[in-house]
A and B are shown apart, each in its own frame.
Chain A
Amino acid sequence: MDIVALLVIVVVLVAVVAIVATPLRGTHRERASSEAADRVAELEARKEAKYREIRDAEMDLRTGKLSVEDHRVLDRQLRAEAVVILKALDDAGAEVP
């Protein structure tokens, strides 16, 4: 094995160990955010998905796929589900230190 190849392999090995082991040293900057903050992010995603459903239902009403009565029932249900998510979002937000 030539010396250049050996040097390249050693440099790569050191770099890989540095990349992989950095989180284990405890001083790395990529400290994970708290579980509560992650929960907030997930609830935000759910909220946006629910809002999208409400907008879709509105579009379905306007394009004639849903009757006024069906839309009223559906919209009420979707908004109730959105409220549950918003409450959970408030609770999760309160837990964020």
Chain B
Amino acid sequence: MATVGRALLILALVVALYGVAASIYGAVRRRDDWIASGRRSVYAIAALVTGAFAILEFAFLRSDFTFATVASHSSTTTPAFYKAAAAWSSQEGSLLLWLWLLSLWSSLVLFFTRRQLRIVTPWATAVLLGFAAFFASLLVFKETPFALLAVAPAEGAGLNPLLRHPSMMIHPPMLYSGYTLFTIPFAFAIGALVTRQVRAADWIRATRRFALAAWLFLGIGILLGARWSYSELGWGGYWAWDPVENASLLPWLTGTALIHSIMIQEKRGMLKIWNVSLVLATGTLAILGTFLVRSGILDSIHAFGASTLGVPFVILIGVMIGGSIALVVWRREALRSENRLDSLLSREAIFLLNNLVLVAMAFVVFWGTFWPLIAEALTGTRRALGPPWFDKYTVPLAIMLVLLSGIGPVIAWRKATVANARRNFLLPAVAAIGLGAVLSAFGAASRPLALAMFVCGAFVVASVGQEFWRGVGVRRAMTGEGPLRALRSLVARNRRRYGGYLVHVGMALLFVGVAASSAFNNARDVRLVPGQTMRVGDHDFTYAQATSRVSTSRSGALEKISFGAVVDVRRDGEKIVTLRPERSYFPSRDIAGLGPVGRFFEGEATSEIGLKAGFRRDLWAAMTPDIRKLMPTIQEGDRVFAAAAGKLPPELEGQALGAALSGIVNRYIASEPAATFRVISSPLVTWIWLGAIVVFLGGLIALWPGPDAARRRVTARYSARVAEELGRA
């Protein structure tokens, strides 16, 4: 099957190269047959890569260790759920996932636009096929997922324990969907620039929904990564300004700016240079994000480590940047605005300001992320910038952004009068200031930036609430509908507007959660023995007892040893919850020089946190056991097994190892072991995840095709059919 997989990828590369040539030839010669052939190349690549991906998945699911990537990233003991996800835990598998998603999304957009944008689409097809050819060539020449081992091992190395988390199943496909979808507006922008079709907003209208989908998928991917970090990495945070995290945030920030500013071009014919630059920058940043994960040029927990992919990616990014700049300069005349800003008190002006804030944030993140490389180039020493540096600049910008997301919905397009502004801003402003006063009275003023975020968040919720309230009122007055029906029809008639408003509320909740949990969290790192108590904020955490266990897989193989703690949490003397944090030790994949017992303490270790999540506060605990007392026992066990090597049949050796490990875990309990705890009492963390869900719902509403779009497609289809049938007659 590996041969078939490799052949499918080679075929995909050949078809991609052919498709680029066919699309460009068709565009230049205005030949519909070649254009259609180029478009069909994308469909064919989607089918070919689907086949290749299915072969790889099948190999993982049936633990076919003749595949090198399966042997190094899975094992027979890996649960089936994670075997499926293990396919993209490797460099080569994730590249294949990238190409697969790119081919699927490209096929979808080209299918929907096959009767629109006849001049632009062939060039966009060529660009999308160019990306497909790039990734296919990496998979054929650099990192093939179908490399075979001369001798298949009896057992694979297994999936990295840190990746055994449900969100890791969805996180990469979501991120890659975001990245690949952002290449679609990029491709159409290139097409519009090459063909000089930038005056009308048709290409933006045709790809806007894909840009929104990219933004949504990327956002979900980022949030899932944050959730994984919070619940799996054992440090208690959800965002660390890690280079790879930042790399995903960059296109999301510019994409957020884009989905706002394209509305100005659609409605007013303004900001064309700005919009096309944002589209091109976002597409390039999506590729840059992919590059950062794979090249190993920046140190990150999420990266694949050093690889040989750096040079091809640098060349691709160089071509994208150089080509984009050249095209924008070449078409600068056609990109002139048709209108000017009527008033600074207008939605256009607010969107413009919002764009500037978002781009400033993107610049800060970019600078901070690449500073180690810049510093190394200037001084010869690589120095990273930590979270305080990022927070210093991004926090004020985020506050401004939230404030603007509250102003936008209540201000009119073109020009708002002072009287109207007063009428629309009064209630939200009073609500926000009132909340600010109440919170100040309860001590929130000690953290002015957090207080500012709470005030701005309240302003957003009040302004959007007012919009819905008034909208429902208008609908009821017009139609006599009941409140719920009026709300439903209000949203259904303008999903984009009201879905977007919901996204604003979700973002406000999310930022309030971030502000509260950052400014008012109490965290302590303390070493305790059973029976001891520590105080964190208003809560007393008592290390009640130690726990330990040996886990086996379904097949009976020894999987991990876990040492944990039972932690009772009390407030005002009353027990409110029991947390059970745990530290699990997985055997080392590198068995050379390690004994069978010691192997378990030299491999990966993961934290299972104890968490009591609540609407008001999260109580979070992680622990690291002190296993130094066990080391003599572990070394003794290794000596015994070394002496018995070759004398015991394998099944008895397995049983003996199980007994030895059980003895170790029992001895751990009996030793009244000390452990180092990290305990956090953090307010409103749940608001971050709730806000993300609201953003997701709002995004879905905005993305959902409205009745207008459906009707338009039908009309267009009938028009095309009439033309076709009359032509044939």
Digitize B220-242: 1 where CB-to-A-CB distance is under 8 Å, 0 elsewhere.
00000000000000000000000
With A9-B7, A41-B715, A65-B410 as contacts: A16 and B48 at CB distance below 8 Å: yes
The answer to whether B712 and A48 have CB atoms under 8 Å apart is: yes
Chain A CB count within 10 A is highest, among B4, B43, B474, for B4
- Tell me the chain B residues, 25-56 only, with Cβ under 8 Å from chain A: 32-37, 40-41, 43-44, 47-48, 51
**Closest CB-CB distance, B107 to chain A, in whole Å?**
12
Does chain B have a CB within 8 A of A37?
yes
A-B contact pairs, 24 of them (CB 8 A): A16-B47, A20-B40, A23-B33, A23-B34, A24-B34, A24-B37, A31-B32, A38-B118, A41-B715, A41-B719, A44-B712, A44-B716, A45-B712, A46-B200, A52-B494, A52-B708, A55-B493, A55-B494, A62-B470, A63-B474, A64-B423, A64-B424, A65-B410, A96-B723
- A65-B412 contact given A32-B36, A45-B205, CB 8 Å threshold: yes
- Judging by beta carbons under 8 Å apart, are B723 and A32 in contact? no
Kindly list chain B residues whose C-beta atoms are within 8 Å of the C-beta of A44: 712, 715-716, 719
Q: Does A40 contact B (CB under 8 A)?
A: yes
Known: A67-B420, A96-B719. A32 touches B41 (CB 8 A): no
Cα distance A12–B48 in the bound complex, in angstroms = 8
Does the CB pair A12–B202 fall under 8 Å? Answer: no
For the complex with contacts A32-B36, A37-B724, 7 further pairs of A-B residues with Cβ separation under 8 Å are: A20-B40, A20-B41, A48-B711, A51-B708, A57-B413, A64-B423, A65-B424
**Contact indicator A97/B719 (Cβ below 8 Å):** no
Given contacts A9-B7, A67-B419, contact A45 B470 (CB under 8 A): no
A60 in the interface, Cβ–Cβ < 8 Å?
Answer: yes
Q: Is the CB of B720 within 8 A of A37?
A: yes
Q: Which has the most chain B C-beta neighbours within 10 Å: A20, A28, A35?
A: A20
Closest to B474 in A: A62
Q: Is B8 an interface residue (CB 8 A)?
A: yes
Could you tell me the distance in whole angstroms from the C-beta of A31 to the nearest C-beta in chain B? Answer: 7
Check A94 for interface membership: any CB of B closer than 8 A.
no
- Which residues of A have CB within 8 Å of B34? 23-24
| A:14-52 near B, CB below 8 Å | 16, 19-24, 26, 28, 30-38, 40-42, 44-46, 48-49, 51-52
* Choice from A20, A51, A74 contacting B37 with Cβ under 8 Å: A20
Assess the A5–B118 pair: CB atoms within 8 A.
Answer: no
Point out the residue from A26, A35, A56, A66 that lies within 8 Å of B118, measured CB to CB. A35
Q: Report if B414 contacts A (CB, 8 A).
A: yes
Q: Measured between C-beta atoms, what is the minimum distance from B57 to chain A in Å?
A: 17
B417–A32 contact, CB under 8 A?
Answer: no
Q: Which residues on the A side are within 8 Å of B202 (C-beta)? A: 42, 45-46
Question: What sequence of 0s and 1s flags, for each residue 259-271 of chain B, a beta carbon within 8 Å of any chain A beta carbon?
Answer: 0000000110000
B3 at the interface (CB under 8 A from A): yes
Cα(A64)–Cα(B726), bound, Å: 50
A84 at the interface (CB under 8 A from B): no
Given contacts A64-B424, A65-B412, contact A33 B40 (CB under 8 A): no
Query: 1/0 per position for B468-504, CB-CB distance to A under 8 A?
Result: 0011001001000000000000000110010000000
Which single residue of chain B is at the shortest CB-CB distance from A63?
B470
Expressed in whole angstroms, the Cα–Cα distance for A40 and B720 within the complex equals 9
Q: In the bound complex, how far is the Cα of B424 from the Cα of A64, in angstroms?
A: 7
A70 touches B412 (CB 8 A): yes
Instruction: Flag whether B196 is at the interface (Cβ < 8 A).
Output: no
Instruction: Compute how far the CA of A60 lies from the CA of B267 in the bound complex, rounded to whole angstroms.
Output: 15
Which chain A residues lie closer than 8 Å to B709 at the CB level? 48
* Interface contact B8-A12, CB-CB below 8 Å: yes
Complex interface: chain A residues within 8 A of B44 (CB)? 16, 19-20
User: In the complex, A21 Cα to B39 Cα: how many Å?
Assistant: 11
CB of B11 closer than 8 Å to a CB of A: yes
The answer, yes or no, to whether B1 is at the interface (CB within 8 Å) is yes
Give A residues with C-beta under 8 Å from B. 1-2, 5, 8-9, 12-13, 16, 19-24, 26, 28, 30-38, 40-42, 44-46, 48-49, 51-53, 55-57, 59-60, 62-67, 70, 74, 96-97
A70 to B715, CA, bound (A): 33
- CA of A16 to CA of B43, assembled, Å: 10
| Interface-centre pick from A30, A45, A55 (highest chain B CB count, 10 A) | A45
A17 to chain B, nearest CB (A): 9
Chain B residues closer than 8 Å to A9, beta-carbon distance: 3-4, 7
* Contact across chains for B720 and A33 when beta carbons are under 8 A apart: yes
Chain B residue nearest to A78 (CB atoms) is B267
Residues A12 and B51 in contact, CB atoms below 8 Å apart: yes
B-side contacts of A23, CB under 8 Å: 32-34, 36-37, 40
Set of chain B residues within 8 Å of A64, measured between Cβ atoms: 420, 423-424, 470
- Asked if A42 contacts B116 (CB within 8 A), the reply is yes
**With A60-B412, A62-B474, A66-B420 as contacts: A30 and B36 at CB distance below 8 Å:** yes
With A8-B4, A56-B497 known as contacts, the answer to whether A70 contacts B116 (CB < 8 A) is no
Cβ B474 vs Cβ A70 within 8 A: no
Residues of A within 8 A of B8 (CB): 12
Q: Please list the 9 inter-chain residue pairs (A to B) with the smallest Cβ-Cβ separation, ordered nearest first.
A: A41-B716, A37-B723, A23-B36, A33-B720, A32-B32, A65-B412, A63-B470, A62-B474, A9-B7
Quick check: B719 and A56 within 8 Å, CB to CB? no
**Does residue B411 face the partner (Cβ distance < 8 Å to A)?**
yes
Contact assessment for B11 and A13 in the assembled complex, using a CB-CB cutoff below 8 Å: yes
A48, B202: Cα distance in complex, Å: 12
- If A16-B11, A45-B205 touch, whether A21 touches B37 (CB-CB below 8 Å) is yes
A76, B37: Cα distance in complex, Å: 46
* Contacting residues, chain B, for A1 (C-beta < 8 A): 3
B469: nearest chain-A partner, CB-CB: A63
- A96 near B726: Cβ-Cβ < 8 Å: yes
**Does the CB pair B415–A70 fall under 8 Å?**
yes
State in angstroms the CA–CA spacing of A55 and B33 once bound together. Answer: 41
Q: Which residue of A lies closest to B267 (CB)?
A: A53
Q: How far is the CB of B603 from chain A (nearest CB, A)?
A: 37
B727 at interface, CB cutoff 8 A = yes
Contact A34 B723 (CB under 8 A): yes
- Residues 409 to 441 of chain B near chain A (Cβ within 8 Å): 410-417, 419-420, 423-424
CA distance A66 to B410 in the complex (A): 10
Q: How far is B48's CA from A13's CA once the two chains are assembled, in angstroms?
A: 10
Q: Are B413 and A60 in contact (CB under 8 A)?
A: yes
CB distance from B120 to the nearest CB of A (A): 11
Q: List, in ascending order, chain A residues with CB within 8 A of B708's CB.
A: 48, 51-52
Instruction: Kindly list chain B residues whose C-beta atoms are within 8 Å of the C-beta of A49.
Output: 205, 266
Q: Which residue of B lies closest to A30 (CB)?
A: B36
Asked whether A63 lies within 8 Å of B467 as measured between CB atoms, the reply is yes
Given known A-B contacts A33-B720, A65-B411, A19 and B43 have beta carbons under 8 A apart: yes
Looking at the complex, which one of B3, B416, B419, B724 makes contact with A33 (CB distance below 8 Å)? B724
